Amino acid sequence: MLQSTTAEIKPRSALRVNPAKTCQPIGALYAALGIHGCMPHSHGSQGCCAYHRSHLTRHYKEPVVATTSSFTEGASVFGGLANMTQALTNIFSIYNPDIVAVHTTCLSEVIGDDIPMMIKKSYDDGIIPSGKLVIHANTPSFVGSHMTGFSNMTKAMVTYLSDRNGSTKNQLNLIPGFIDPADMRELKRLAAMMNVNIVMFPDTSDVLDLPQTGIYKMYPKGGVSIPQLKSTGDSIATLALGHFASYAAATALNDKWEVTNAFLELPIGLGPTDRFINALRNYAGVDVPESIVQERGRLLDMISDMQQYFHGKRVAVAGDNDNVIALVQFLTELDMKPVYVITGSPGNHFETRVGEILKEQVPDAVIKQNTDLFALHQWMKNGPVDLIIGNTYCKYIARAENTPFVRFGFPILDRMTHRIFPTVGYMGAIRLMDKMFDAMMDHKDRECPEELFELVQ
């Protein structure tokens, strides 16, 4: 791949080389793991489920559970009803989850399996025990990306489970977007510091970042509970973080129960985190505590201290659309220049929003959605950058072009601590700055002539 990447750019309409995304079921499976006592179920072949589980396991370094309908040639021709019936029978008798979250695959979508009918028939036939629940989301891999799958499954939580009893609860709904467990934990920490009651869904903290106790639990203590999900219709408002991952669920909740929406971008960096804290303050009617003000002040101090090192540096950014939008804002706050900004996911909002952010600071930036890392590599060959930020797949470009590299987003397959340290909030921004600074300074120390190899930078 590295040797075949040329600087000559030719139009490509039907080919992707190293697409900066993965498929819908991975996002749906991850969202389902954010429900307490949930067993994700892949309605398709064993191979699909095995890939989705292994990809998530490699990123989070935790065992990821899921079941499958195990399609064979017969199910591909005659439909998957029998497979679904047998699967649900086995799941509840062997694994005994509180809820099963079904997502589809390419195969079951192509043959047109009617999942709501199958679920209804399983209830009617007593396959689903009393008190147990089954929800579903349609997630064909040939449409959208893992961000779409996450969005569809999160919306299914609202469609199937949200309810109301008519009395408003002193709580806010928080849809966090496709972020790591550490980020979800950080959002909950900030809300707790402000004494704001939240219902976060999905919530993978204490599910995919468990401490080692020597005892395996198929259903860890984490995840949003079913009673919490049912209470979302009585909340004061919904804070939806990220246009692509959270918009659909928040809109569905508003349509179903008229719960007020606040659409925010992921709180990465100073400005987006300020807006998140301000939304919590306004909707919950609380004051911002001094402890959070101090965290913000530390971030400002770090920005001031590092400004001379970041000023004017050219950056290439690749990753999930919501995460990249927020990260680009943070880079402009650091006076850096994101000159190439891409996502593999579709959605014109990405190009529009990033263009708005960069129109003053980097008016000639190349911004593209639904593209691939091959294109990014070609642009870098024609105009080098000082730093590349993206998932593990970007390491090949960084090596080929001898460019400092910071791992960010999903998936990160060759490092460990991303699931423990947040990138959201003021403290997450400080960690991101630390990683960027170290990457650039380490590169400088390696490449500079001996007379410029300084002890103090």
Active site residues: 106, 110
Check whether residue 385 and residue 432 sit in a common domain: yes
pLDDT score at 452? 86
Q: What is the mean pLDDT of the chain?
A: 95
Check whether residue 153 and residue 237 sit in a common domain: no
pLDDT score at 271? 97
pLDDT at residue 246 greater than cutoff 80: yes
| pLDDT tens per residue across span 290-310 | 999 999 999 999 999 999 999
| pLDDT tens per residue across span 42-97 | 999 999 999 999 999 999 999 999 999 999 887 777 889 999 999 999 999 999 99
Check whether residue 125 and residue 84 sit in a common domain: yes
| pLDDT tens per residue across span 400-417 | 999 999 999 999 999 998
Check whether residue 93 and residue 130 sit in a common domain: yes
Backbone angles phi, psi at 234, to 5 degrees: -100, 5
Range of the domain at 47: 24-161
Spatial neighbors of 54 by CB under 8 A, at least 6 apart, are: none
Could you tell me which of 10, 18, 7, 17 has the C-alpha nearest to residue 378? Answer: 7
Check whether residue 303 and residue 447 sit in a common domain: yes
- Count how many domains the chain has: 3
As given in the structure block, the two tokens for residue 80 are: 């998957």
Check whether residue 209 and residue 298 sit in a common domain: no
As given in the structure block, the two tokens for residue 416 are: 């460990």
Looking at the chain, the whole-number percentage of residues with pLDDT higher than 70 is 99
pLDDT score at 35? 98
What would the mean pLDDT of 199-210 be, rounded to a whole number? 96
| pLDDT tens per residue across span 109-128 | 999 999 999 999 999 999 99
| pLDDT tens per residue across span 323-345 | 999 999 999 999 999 999 999 99
Print the SS3 string covering 68-95: ECCCCHHHHHHCCHHHHHHHHHHHHHHH
Check whether residue 322 and residue 251 sit in a common domain: no
What type of residue sits at position 291?
S
CATH number of 41's domain: 3.40.50.1980
Report which secondary-structure segment, H or E, holds 326: helix 321-333
| pLDDT tens per residue across span 220-245 | 999 999 999 999 999 999 999 999 99
Backbone angles phi, psi at 425, to 5 degrees: 75, 175
| pLDDT tens per residue across span 265-295 | 999 999 999 999 999 999 999 999 999 999 9
pLDDT at residue 1 greater than cutoff 70: no
Q: Residue 39 domain-assigned?
A: yes
Q: How far apart are CA 288 and CA 284, in angstroms?
A: 11
pLDDT score at 451? 84
